[in-house]
Structure 1
Amino acid sequence: MIRCDNLVKIYKQADLEVVALQGLDLHVRAGELMAIIGNSGSGKSTLLNVLGGLDRPTAGQVTVDGIDLLQISDADLVKYKRETVGFVWQNNARNLIPYLTAQENVELPILLKGRRKRARALELLEAVGLLHRRKNRLSQLSGGEQQRAAIAIALANEPKVLLADEPTGSVDSAMANQILDLFRHLSHSLGLTVVIVTHDPLLAQKVDRVVAIRDGKTSSELIRRKSYAQELQELADGAERGDPDESHIEYAVLDRAGRLQIPSHCLEAVGMKNRNKMRVAIEEGRIVLTPPEPQDDRVS
């Protein structure tokens, strides 16, 4: 559904150039529920803006549902943003018009497409558990209810991909869990591809794959050992909850030039956090990285 190969995004301000994405590679399967994490400035929000058609990529390749976002015309880009992707923002003011009711907010994008709006709006509000609040305006909804209304709006025109930028950043942990469960339900019931950008690594417990971005590149991936549904079934059968740190397998991502970014916690564990060399050896079919010997470390 999403394919990024050697994706580059450069912002230009006066005489200054900022390279936000530096040859990023990312492939997302149709129907996948995944998260993208990274520190502030890592490039994760830039990636979401490119996938959402809000920013044009500078170089590389990026396709969504077979649509080439590097070569797309302005007219087709408008159609792409209306029909292929839905966007959920952290700031509810960007999702909702305050003087409209929840139902009217959901009806608006459907109206712009010229479809029957009322039945579709009610269907979506029911799907996100907000049908009973359909006549309430923004000021009458809680933060979690506003975010669920925003999700309904994003789904109004039946997009193939749902992009969410810090969707749980403005709600408490209980509501965050409800919103993440809603994303999972929508992904499975509608076959929707959901990409969530967040700074919260605990989100990994709710999704099947987590991609970490550092310095504009994918640095590592966390892939669930068992499906989330399988873990819930085991808990229902009386099994004890496992250690969250052991629920996923972590992989470093190797780029086209053979380079990889080793997760910082691994470097810290072997005392390599602020050092710039490692010894490389092949042992029994494995590539082994170890800190340099003292005499090696003196050579710069």
Structure 2
Amino acid sequence: MNQEKTANLFDFQKVALETLRIEENALQILARQIDGRFSRACEIILRCKGRLVITGMGKSGHIGRKMAATFASTGTPSFFMHPGEAGHGDLGMLVEGDVLIAISNSGKSDEIMMLMPLIKHLGVPLITISGDDRGPMPQNADVALTLGDIQEACPLGLAPTSSTTATLALGDALAVALLDARGFTSDDFARSHPAGALGKRLLLHVKHLMHTGEDLPKVAPNTPMNKVLYEISDKRLGLTTIVDEQERLLGIFTDGDLRRLIDKQQGFDVNLLVQDVMIQNPWTISQEARAVEALERMNERKINQFVVVDETNKVIGVISMHDLIQAGVN
């Protein structure tokens, strides 16, 4: 029987569903392991003055790397330390004040056990994650977290599958519990993800993108239209603000207003004063508003710019839809 024909007869979906059933059952078993040990582990990490260091060999190490990344992005300073490299100098990463999470399903990783004397010497609290608490690692731990008697989804019972899924879920549970206990907010999350879309949505404010100073178009109300047009053209924002002597906002005049004025009057007198044709009470926004809010409000009102004013209605900036899009706000 050729390979293609064999593949056609094989029920891939059945195996997939059975794999997911076994891993789902593993998570249910893990849930029954959550007890006072979990709380003690969280308390140790919360009291940590240094970093949360995570170590593990092989597949446990891959899970440990992901756990460290999750902790670091949710308010718990953390990094991964490879146990093999630690035995050749990298153990210097671990210092007094840190907390160590060591992962080994068997609870007896040789590479980690070799580090145990120095871990004890440093007085670093040790939290272990293993299948049960009978191995030498959990026996030496301050807190031994266990996964329970779970079945690997691998039909040979050899490849780490359900055990790594459960370990990852336990790491997520720790990270989320700590996040909640710290009062970690979406703003805090954004500060550790400044380059991402979420960071831009939460960290960028109008004041970071608005045009100010010499780039800010402003004219007095008695300015003739020829000079108004020059100001709009020179500042290249598609409008100018009209301000009083204290630079408080009186109105705006946009290039769209210009086109409508020309259509209405079949041309216009360049000596016309802007106060006679300006738009009064235009939409404004605070410099403290989030950039994403500015974009949403522009879309709602079908406008392309906001005048930015302070609490006294003094003009301090202009922000355009182009500025927001260029900054990656969406």
Q: Identify the structure with the greater helix proportion.
A: 2
Higher relative contact order (CA closer than 8 Å, sequence separation 6+)? 1
Structure with the larger strand share: 1
Which structure has the larger Rg?
Answer: 2
